Amino acid sequence: MKNIRKGIGLTMIICLLSTFLYGCWSKKELTEIAIVVGIGIDKNENGTYRASVQVVNPRNITSGQQLGGLTGPPITVYHGDGHTLLEVAREVTKVVSRELLFDHCNLVVIQEDLAKEGIKEILDVLERSPDFRTTALIAIAKGTKAQNIIKTVTPVDYVSAQKITYGLENTQARLGENIALELSQFINDLYHVGASPVVSGIEMIGDEEKAASEENAKSTIPLANVKINKLAVFKEDRMIDWIDGDKAKGIIMLRNLLKGTVVNLDWKEHKEAISVTIHRAIVKIKPSYKNGKPTFLIKGRFEGNISEVQVPIPLNEPAMVAEVENILSEKLKKMMEEALDYAKEKQTDLAGLGEKFRLKYPKEYFQLRADWNEKILPEIVVDIKVKSILRRTDMKFEPFFIKD
Amino acid sequence: MSLFSKPFGKKKKNDKNRPEEKPVSQDPRGQADWIEKQFLDQNLDKNIEFLQKTTGNSSDIQYRHVTLGGNSGRKACIVITEGLVENLLVLGFLESILEKEMDGQIPSEQMMEQLRERILPISKVGTVQTWTDLFHALLSGQSILLLDGMAKALTVSTEGGEFRSIQEPTSEVSIRGPKDSFTESLITNTALIRRRIKNPNLWVERLEIGKVTKTEVNVIYIKGIANDKIVQEVKERLQRIEYGQVLDSGTVEQFIEDQTFSPFPTVYHTERPDVVSSNLAEGRVAIVCDGSPFVLTVPALFVEFFQATDDYYARFDISVAIRFLRVIAFFISLIAPATYVAITTFHHEMIPTILLLSIAAQREAVPFPAFLEAFLMEMAFEILREAGIRLPRFIGQTVSIVGALVIGQAAVQANLVSPAMVIVVSITGIASFATPSYSVAISARLIRFAIMILAAFIGFYGIVISLMFMVLHLNSLRSFGVPYMEPLSPMIFSELGDTLVRMPVRTLKMRPKLISQKNKFRLKTEQQPGPSGNKRKKGDDNG
């Protein structure tokens, strides 16, 4: 009995000790790592990739007074060239003293020209790597190189990658023309082919030369800045066009990604006289399959407030509000129809109709899959039904300039 | 049985009951044992000589010679230990001996009988025959009356002397509830319990342990609620103690606890009479040790150490929140520094980017690895705390100021530690004070270092491993046969109301099942008050 007990004890001790053997395996002290917050990917003329990593200098972000640290640029950008992204990442170590930590990389910016050529190939490593998170947002550098976006020093949010991610989320929630698209969603769209992704664009404004300089952040009017603008339309993994305005909003509505927006309505002869804030939007797409042809019923339900009125409308009458609701429904319907027509014209499934169809009719979809975009999509009959509800008229009923 | 009936206690018990059995013998082990075997002599002078010889003429043992029964009287001697007797009582009975008329011709036997029955104005008077009993009585404050011609002595209960009075508890302060605490006097302590449980079923059994100190220990339990087997086991374990100096219940605890090599205490101790009374009412056994203001209760459960008295006196919603807070605080005090170490060295992805940047900025100039930083700060904190306890109060304040300045401010400015680490250590320190029981809080302090080391090696994996080992260990513990984690494991649903939360008192109907094992119901009827005249059905919870 004693021997058995001894044996058990010994085994347990050996087991415990063995946990120490592989200890410190993935240990990285904070002072040994460089925190990457954004990556820009460009294609060089000789066909190699150039990746620019935006690394934070933590000491220069927090008010460095009690740390007695140097004041310097909040971010540092390193470049590397190579045929694969992994090669580039290792190439960068030639110029960085610390191990690059990709866990906190929240932004991947891709050059417009590269996006037009197709970006399937470079996304694999981002999805495969255990260090990289596919929750990072993806954006397209519009009319400039991705490295220029990455190296820009921006005011308020000193780390420009953070500025862009916050900005994407903010504009999606407020204006609804752009989306904060996660890399995983992007890859998901590509993978199923039943949907083609749309990605927000980012462009440089101001003096591109001074974007990387520290004085940019110190100036009250930034000398150069990055701006989220337009939506890049993809056909499968190739970018084909830029859109904005109602068309962009329509696509975002169809994808049920709209979180909030403002819609201007006409009132009788007055153009764009009423502004409505949409704060809740639910769009459901229901596919059906009849006589070898897919049809879709799109049901939208929008809730909002009347936020601005430039014409005298007696809003204290419920009938008036109901009328505005009708106009709003019409307008929203038109926006979605326009977006769909655009998608049909470009033969790219921006609304993700194919994906919806696949989920309900998997067998039929795989028969139609091969020429979904080219033949099926332009022929699809879509019925859009919109219901809008105006919850309140904010602080007032009638505008003060109404005449009795 | 053979395990339990080892020598000392058992033998002594026999001695008391049947002294004539034991022949006079020399025992090489010590004087005390040698005395044990001897009887009093008939000759008064011989007895006094023996007394003086045995006590080495100790100055605090005083002899007062008197003559009883007038001229033809008989010599007698009163022996007392100075300081242990109540002087007024001694004076009183001395007075009555000297004043009362007695016939000096009657035999000694009769005279002693008369003294006992008519003359001594003290409620408790006993007779002793052996030197063991005599010394025991004498040294616990009784007065001894030796009579010439008698091989017996009278013991007069005159215990008294100076004791610390009943004061507010110092280590278990409560906002609401009784403010008295135990003192060093066994009699006072027992009385404090008796005062709360006026029940004839509250049984008190006296034992004597400690070879040199001869400390008296009372085993208290409520007959009919306490499990007889546990009572028996407690007594047996106490009698087995063969140790020279038993000066505090802490020593007793270490002898009777189930598991020595465990950071967790399996015996509960408290200085609050209300806690002991409540534990007794739940079927536990209390051990009151003379000279110690801490009373032990067994069996102890792990959850017991998180139950503060305030929980039961405050209303239920407050108690639930505070009990829960305490459990959280216990975990913070256990794993907060380890989590910090693990996150900053292994799992950078687990914290928000901004927080990581902020911590990274602070750590930028710190030359040590995160573990060493945490270890240094924890050590410094522990040293400060230990020093703070030992130092006199006015110096203690100085230490805390120096500590706060040196560790909070200077160490950060000198870039030896990061401000975030100071915050973590402070939170840990404060959280460890939120555990009502010092003995479990101190265990958490100990385990914290082990977890920290593992976290430094293998990150969260290490924390999880150590917590798993802790849980396994806790489940392996028993306190006097009762599983330590009861009622969490084995899960007993009817008792969960008083574990991590404290449900309304009227829902706590059952006593801890495994402790009492009989008489399980605290209350059987519904206690919810309702409108008068509206008789509710039995079992209707909402009234």
pLDDT digits (tens, 9 = 90+) for A156-183: 777 889 889 999 999 999 998 999 999 9
DSSP label at residue B166 = P
- Could you give phi then psi for residue B229, rounded to 5 degrees? -65, -40
Interatomic CA distance for residues A388 and A301, integer angstroms: 6
Burial of A260: CB neighbours in 10 Å, binned 0-12, 13-18, 19+: middle
Helix (H) or strand (E) holding B66: strand B61-68
Confidence grade of residue B16 (pLDDT, cut at 50, 70, 90): very low
pLDDT band at B35 (very low <50, low <70, confident <90, very high): low
The DSSP letter of residue B258 is S
Residue B20: pLDDT band with limits 50, 70, 90: very low
pLDDT at B10: 43
| Contact between B61 and B81 (Cβ < 8 Å) | yes
**Which DSSP symbol is given to B348?**
G
* Residue B541 clears pLDDT 50, i.e. is over it: no
- Average pLDDT value over all residues in chain A: 88
Predicted ipTM of the assembly: 0.83
- Fold of the domain spanning A255-404: GMP Synthetase; Chain A, domain 3 (3.30.300)
A·B CB contacts under 8 A: 82
Distances (CA, A) of A255 to A320, A346, A383, B81, B111: 31, 17, 16, 97, 112
Question: CA separation (Å) from A128 to A34, A245, B16, B278, B299?
Answer: 21, 35, 84, 61, 56
Residue whose structure tokens are 């056909």? A235
**Higher-scoring residue by pLDDT: B487, A386:** A386
- State yes or no: pLDDT of B19 exceeds 60: no
Looking at B62-76, B149-163, B262-276, B283-297, which range is the least confident one?
B62-76
The reported pTM is: 0.81
Determine the average pLDDT of the residues in B90-96: 86
Contacts of residue B349 in chain A, CB cutoff 8 Å?
Answer: 103-104, 133
Contacts of A31 in chain B (CB under 8 A): 360, 363-364, 366
What is the token pair recorded at A364?
């039929």
Most confident range (mean pLDDT) of A71-75, A350-354, B38-42 is A350-354
pLDDT tier at B11, thresholds 50, 70, 90: very low
Q: pLDDT above 90 covers what percent of chain A?
A: 45
Continuous segment of H or E residues that includes residue A341: helix A318-346
At residue A358, does pLDDT exceed 80? Answer: yes
Phi and psi at residue B189, to the nearest 5°: -65, -45
Q: What gap in Å lies between CA B369 and CA B264, rounded to an integer?
A: 31
Predicted local distance difference test score (pLDDT) of residue B27: 42
For the cut 90, the answer to whether the pLDDT of residue B104 exceeds it is no
A397 contacts A316 by C-beta, under 8 angstroms: yes
For residue range A221-268, list pLDDT tens digits in order: 888 889 999 999 998 889 999 998 899 999 999 999 999 999 999 988
Q: Are the CB atoms for A52 and A77 separated by under 8 Å?
A: yes
Amino acid A181 reads L
Two tokens, residue B278: 């409540």
Residue of B348, B361, B458 lying closest to A62 (CB–CB):
B361
Percent of chain B scored above 90 by pLDDT?
A: 33
Among chain B, residues having any CB pair with chain A shorter than 8 Å are 344-346, 348-349, 353, 356-366, 369-370, 412-413, 415, 454, 457-459, 462, 465
Choose the closest CB to A104 out of B349, B459, B462.
B349
Band of residue B389 on the pLDDT scale cut at 50, 70, 90:
confident
Of B346, B370, B465, the CB nearest to A26: B346
What residues of A are in the B interface, CB distance below 8 Å?
19-20, 22-31, 33, 35, 37, 56, 58-59, 61-62, 64, 66-69, 101, 103-104, 106, 133, 162
Q: What is the mean pLDDT of residues B282-306?
A: 93
Structure tokens, B82: 């100075």
Query: Coil, strand or helix: which one is A206?
Result: strand
Q: How far is CA B150 from CA A136, B143, B146, in A?
A: 101, 17, 8
Quick one: B46 exposed, middle or buried, by C-beta within 10 A (0-12, 13-18, 19+)?
exposed
Sequence-ordered alpha helix ranges (H) in A138-276: 146-151, 160-174, 183-192, 214-218, 245-254
Q: How confident is the model at residue A146 (pLDDT cuts 50, 70, 90)?
A: very high
pLDDT-wise least confident of A48-57, B239-248, B505-514: B505-514
B534, burial (CB in 10 Å: exposed 0-12, middle 13-18, buried 19+): exposed
Cis omega (within 30 of 0) on the bond before B490? yes
Distance CA A62, CA A159 (A): 11
What one-character DSSP code corresponds to residue B159?
B
d(CA B213, CA B290): 10
Cβ-proximal residues to A283 (8 Å cutoff; 6+ apart), any chain: A253, A254, A255, A256, A258, A298, A299, A300, A301, A336
Q: Got the DSSP string for B464-514? A: HHHHHHHHHHHHH-EETTEETTTTTTTT-GGGTTBTTSB--GGG--B--HH
Q: What pLDDT is stored for residue B534 in this prediction?
A: 54
Query: Within 10 A of B277 (CB to CB), how many other CB atoms are there?
Result: 21
pLDDT at residue number A339: 93
pLDDT (0 to 100) of residue B12? 44
Q: What is the rounded CA–CA span in Å between residue A348 and residue A92? A: 37
pLDDT class of A23 with cuts at 50, 70, 90: low
- The per-residue pLDDT for A404 is 63
pLDDT band at B255 (very low <50, low <70, confident <90, very high): very high
Closest-CA residue of A relative to B469 is A16
Q: Closest-CA residue in chain A for B344?
A: A30
Distance from CA of B364 to the nearest CA of A (A): 6
Q: Is residue B22 very low, low, confident or very high in pLDDT (cuts 50, 70, 90)?
A: very low
pLDDT, position B133: 85
pLDDT score for A228: 93
The pLDDT of residue B72 is: 65
pLDDT at A200 over 90: yes
Give the residue extent of every domain in chain A: 30-243, 255-404
Rounded distance, CA B327 to CA B176, Å?
Answer: 21
Answer yes or no: is pLDDT of B470 > 80.
yes
Per-residue tokens: B66: 């008197």
H/E segment holding residue B386: helix B370-390
Range in A206-220, A367-381, B16-30, B367-381 with the lowest mean pLDDT? B16-30
Give B147's pLDDT tier (boundaries 50, 70, 90).
confident
**What's the pLDDT at B26?**
43
Q: B316-333, pLDDT tens digit by residue?
A: 999 999 999 999 999 999
Report helix, strand or coil for A144: coil
pLDDT at B275 over 60: yes
Amino acid A1: pLDDT: 64
